[in-house]
Structure 1
Amino acid sequence: MHAAGSKRRKPYAGIFLLLVMLASTGMAAVHASNDITQLLVQADSIKTTDNPGFVRLLDGLEGRTTEMSEAQKWRLRFLEGWQADYSGREDKAKSLLEAVVKQAPDNELRTRATAALINVLGVQHHYEEAFEYLDRALENLPPVADQGARFPILGEASQLLSEVGQYDLAAGYAKQIIADYPKGNIGCIGHMLQLHAEIRGGQKRIAGELFQKGIKRCLDVGDKLAADTIRRDIAVLDLQQDRTDDALAILQATNDEVKGLNYQALTAEYNVLLAQAYWKKGNVALAQKYAMATVDVASRSNLTEPLIKAYQLLYQVEQQYGNLREALAYHEKYVAADKEHLDDIREKALSYQIVKQQVETKKIELNELNKQNQILQLQQALNGKAVVTSRLYITLLLTVLASIAFWLYRLKRSQLRFMRLARRDGLTGIFNRQHFVEEAEQTLRYAAKSLRGACLVLIDLDHFKDINDTHGHVVGDTALKRAVSVCQQHLHSCDVFGRIGGEEFGILLPESTLIQALERAEKIRLALQATTNDTQDHVALTASFGIASTAHYGYDLRRLLLAADSALYRAKRDGRNRVVISMDEHTPRAPTYTGNGKLADKHPYANSSE
């Protein structure tokens, strides 16, 4: 998004693009003149600070194209493409900017047009094309000296690579920005991008002075938006490390200033962080207030990530209040938004890997062609030489060609492997949340057509945070793998098993009655409990289970998830290490298994509608 309220939000550019535009138009304004070159420079200098004046200058220049040189016409076309992008006319912008990139004689102008075109392609979800243009732009960047051309490409590279999980590369391009432009707005934005990439990349021990240095650099040049964006990342890191009071202090001190900036993306992110912080502090009313404020801002501006977090928190709030109808509504919105967001992230990541593989393949293919040419030249040159010697050379080169063919095969296999990994949880190797949802929905559709029942089991490891805090994340990861291994020993080939998130897992049992699901869940619970003495760390491992059946809730996965989650919540509330069934109010009640492997005495039945 280029400026608040100026056009619809670009789903992939975010805060960075606005800062790029403000930083890269810092040249001094040119006084009014009839000289075409001076008018083009003047228009370029005011395109964000005075967009209406910029449009008027364009209108005047478009009527004087017969007076222009070829170079001036290309610069005018770039400015027209930029304005089309700015005003949301992406198809026109793409056509104009592609012409500049492919045909303009000025290399720096082509570079600037490429940066704008990458943004247009991102808006249109043409991620593969965006990465292809970015790769070519980075390859041709070294000789480009113009600040207005270099900086947007480096910034786009840092932003895009961060979005596809290439955090080290993203931080590297941000550091290059800082090295190229140690002073001014651009250096400030470089610090912002570097810190953001490092936090997203999991660097939890970033020195506090680096944050303060970045904030001071931005405040020294009057860039409050970038400074408050860095403060947002500090708050994110504080919440991740359970420093809730520190996060609240930063957010409360800066929130009014952020509202005054009138930039919706950052406002929504501050609101949802405040909601999460108050939820952690147990202040449900304020958590709900700020989550609702996030929904109000984010839904109007199509800001997906804060909207997902707000829906998830509001679902938890309504569930705690016992408002199951409202909780279901928020859960449905959360699942829909989260699926759309995960699909977009997956599309970006796959596009990046495809382009990366294509680049490597082209290099190898070019090398192969060079080797083939060498073979032909060698065969021609060896007509008058000994046959034995020529055969040796040819054999050597054929060996090289065979090696290249082998590496091409390996590259193809690695590409297929990446696509498989995109469906798996990186730690445990089972389905990730997105693929679990896809497989479970497909299985439920088949069950509905064949009128066969199915049950959904949600599993949440008890006191898992205490395991991490007491024994460390390495032991925590081992505990997660141990839980997965135990579950897999009790699964059938047709069962769908996945990691929903954190320490929570889901199992869809097709062709299973409620009693069968209860018995299998109880076997898994007892098996988990029994593993404590079989490990070197002797870490006690128990889990709570929530079960929902299609017999009571139909074949809609979202309803089954909500019902099983409610049963799981009750299992946690009633003491953990137990299995609870969720049934509607018209169904005879069923038994609940407790931690001693027997039926409960105090609460002999489970019902999520209570």
Structure 2
Amino acid sequence: MLLLAGRAAPASPASSNLADLLGRADTIKTVDNAAFVELLALLDKNTVALSATQKWRLRYLKAWQVAYLGDFAKARPLLETIIRETPDDAIRMHAAAALVNILGYSHQYEEAYTRLDHALDELPKVTDKDARFHILGEASQLLVGAGQYDLAASYADQIIADYPSGRNRCIGMYLKVHADFLGGKSAQSWRSQAQQAINACTQVNENLFADATRRDVASFAIRQGRTVDAINLLESHYLNVVKYHYLELTSEYAALMTEAYWQKGDTSRAEEFALNTVDLAQKSEFIEPLTTAYQLLYQIDRQKGDLRDALNYHEKYMTADKGRLDDVREKALAYQFVKQQVEAKKVELDELNKQNQILQLQQALDHKAVEAGRLYIALLLTVLASIGLWLLRLKRSQLRFMRLARRDGLTGIFNRQHFVDEAEQTLRYAAKSMRMACLILIDLDHFKLINDTHGHTAGDHVLRRAVAVCQQHLHSCDVFGRIGGEEFGILLPESSVIQALERAERLRVAISTTPEGESQDITVSASFGIASTQHEGYDLRRLLIAADSALYRAKRDGRNRVVVSGPHNGPEADRGSSGDHAADGRATGDPAIS
């Protein structure tokens, strides 16, 4: 987006002065790229008349144009040469920012964070505000991808402080609002800041960033259930977004309209925009809009009864969602790895300084042989103890990070990816030993209504309470994880269908029972779908599809019940077969099993 940011910037007047031509070229490089290329050719013919600094600036602009055309393999060595050899701090910062941009775009996250860290270390000595803006903008965008929202917002605040008005202030305000939105800031203050950012960008004709902010406002409205407001906002600006030819933002708008129309109940429009999202996202390889579109197309076809297409879209959704989660995890791991490397280098430098001090002390105390020997040993043991303590702390930090990468941040149980890994390993063991296993899918009923009525804090409490209740009834060998949102999965090894049904019923009753001393205002219940390896085999994907079909029936038949998938091969048999079993809670608390 920073690369496209200048499209609305006004062009400078023509001038025969080479310095003015350089400034004009820098201004119009994204506004009128064809004219920019002509200026580069003109300046290239007059390099003899350029000063040394102006020649470096011209080299940077030529390298930028190569990156703009998408030839990253050629642009990278050009930018690296500028960073390594130019004496001008501002030009070096511009080149570093451009290199960070193409490394992030190429998914080379570890090197991107390393380059960014080096550039940020040099930033305090850079006085050129435009160079500072370039680095801070790239830092904010890259750190948002790693989930470092507060840090990204702090860099955006520095841009806002550097620019009290104008185009760069607009971009800084957008970056701030976007980071705060993804970081889950409070509704009232965030909506006010978002409107201020939109106003600041429209005043300077930076409509791209205004519409990007409106995307976040619409997404926030959908989360709050204000579907009509979201549709009105998206529809009124969608055609303008299409004109930017910026496929990522266009696909995000289309995905949001898909979600909004689905919530409104307009299946036809939801399907239309979902297919449009798939077309846009596949062209540009943007995974998140593609995941949303496939998930809703799956739900639409399942609602229509077109189970074959629904299954096809479900498989595409799972593939896209895995790719999205892998990319998110890759960014987070790369950031943490680079951060630990930086900290390790700082500790290493401290240790080297300590060793230098030891050598100096040894030379100063050579004439006191006995005392010097004792002091040297004591200091050496101190250094070794410090190194050992540092290695221990680093190892503990690495182990803690590995645990966090496998756990859901809210509930503390397995996240989706680790649940899938553990479940597949358990099923492989069960298949070798010819032992049965059952998969239970749990979905909290009316959870969106709880969020909308009582707020996300209450919703988070409900999720944590449901997980705590389940953990009280699980065995040490059971695999328990959060699949997504309010949906959970439990794999029961060495469990028959009857045993799984009994345990699921106990979980259902426990979840729907309000703990003593807790408020009665929030009613919580859950629906359960069960699939067994006896009927579906040991393939996790088939078990998930069968259990999801059973869960769908539990939802359809009134919620707060347990449904078991029957001994047939498809979702159709699961819904209507006499082999299905359902249990629901009644006023007496006794289960009804059919």
In the TM superposition, residue 290 of structure 1 has moved relative to its aligned partner by: 2.0
Is 1:593 the counterpart of 2:583? The answer is yes
The one-letter code matched in structure 2 to 1:268 is: S
TM-score by length of 2: 0.89
Aligned residue number for residue 12 of structure 1: none
CA contact 1:462–1:541 (8 Å) conserved in 2: yes
User: Which of these residues, 169, 179, 186, is aligned with residue 204 of structure 1?
Assistant: 186
Aligned-partner Cα distance in 2 for 1:550–1:90: 49
* Contact 1:353–1:415, Cα closer than 8 Å, also in 2: no
Counterpart for residue 18 of structure 1 = 4
Cα distance, 1:259 vs. partner? 2.8
| Structure-to-structure mapping, 1:212-291, within 5 angstroms | 212-291=195-274
Give runs of aligned pairs for residues 153-552 of structure 1, distance below 5 A. 153-207=135-189, 208-383=191-366, 395=378, 399=382, 402-403=385-386, 405-447=388-430, 453-468=436-451, 473-529=456-512, 531-534=513-516, 536-537=518-519, 540-552=523-535
Q: 1:28 matched to which residue of 2?
A: 12
The SS at the match of 1:242 is: coil
Q: What's the offset of the Cα at 1:48?
A: 2.1
State the SS of the aligned residue for 2:563.
strand
CA contact (8 A) 1:458 1:565 kept: yes
Show the counterpart of 2:92: 110
**Which piece of structure 1 moves more, 189-198 or 274-283?**
274-283
Cα distance, 1:27 vs structure 2: 7.5
Structure 1 residue 516: Cα displacement: 3.4
Alignment partner of 2:128 out of 134, 146, 162: 146
1:107 deviation in Å? 2.0
Q: Aligned residue for 1:9?
A: none
Looking at structure 1, the residues matched to 421 and 72 of structure 2 have their Cα atoms a distance apart, in angstroms, of 32
Q: Distance in 1 between matches of 2:176 and 2:535?
A: 51
Q: RMSD of the alignment, in Å?
A: 3.1
Could you report, residue by residue, the CA deviation over 1:385-428 in whole angstroms, capped at 9, with x for unpaired residues?
79769967985786476346424421331132112101101122
TM-score scaled by length of structure 1:
0.86
How far off its partner does 1:323 sit? Answer: 1.8
1:532 positional shift: 2.5
**Counterparts of 2:484 and 2:91 in 1: how far apart (Å)?**
46
CA pair 314-357 structure 1, distance change in 2 beyond 3 A: same
SS in 2 for 1:505: strand
- Give aligned pairs, total: 583
Choose from 539, 542, 545 the match for 1:559: 542
Cα deviation digits, residues 428-448 of structure 1 (max 9, x gap):
211111221233334445555
Of 375-384 and 222-231, the range deviating more from structure 2 = 375-384
Equivalent position SS for 2:205: coil
- Map Cα deviations across residues 65-106 of structure 1 (whole Å, 9 max, x no partner): 789876566444433332222112111112221222122222
Q: Deviations over 1:279-333 (max 9, x none)?
A: 2222222222222222222222222111111111121222222221121111111
- Larger mean CA deviation between 532-541 and 390-399 belongs to 390-399
- Structure 1 CA distance for aligned equivalents of residues 363 and 10 of structure 2: 60
For structure 2, the 5+ residue unaligned runs are none
Offset of 1:467 from its aligned partner? Answer: 4.5
Distance 1:462 1:209 in 2: 33
For 2:467 and 2:337, the matched residues in 1 are separated by 31
* Alpha-carbon contact 1:433-1:499 (below 8 Å) kept: yes
1:182 alignment partner, SS class: coil
Q: What SS class does the counterpart of residue 123 from structure 2 fall into?
A: coil
Q: What percent of counterpart residues are identical?
A: 60
Write the distance in 2 (CA, Å) between the matches of 1:340 and 1:116: 26
1:591, 1:600 within 8 Å by CA — same for their partners in 2?
no
Verify the 8 A CA contact 1:458 1:507 in the aligned structure 2.
yes
DSSP 3-state at the match of 1:545: strand
Alpha-carbon deviation of 1:239? 1.7
Distance 1:471 1:242, change over 3 A: closer
- State the shift of 1:262 in Å: 3.3
Q: 1: distance between equivalents of 2:167 and 2:50?
A: 33
- Does the 8 Å CA contact 1:298/1:307 hold for their aligned counterparts? yes
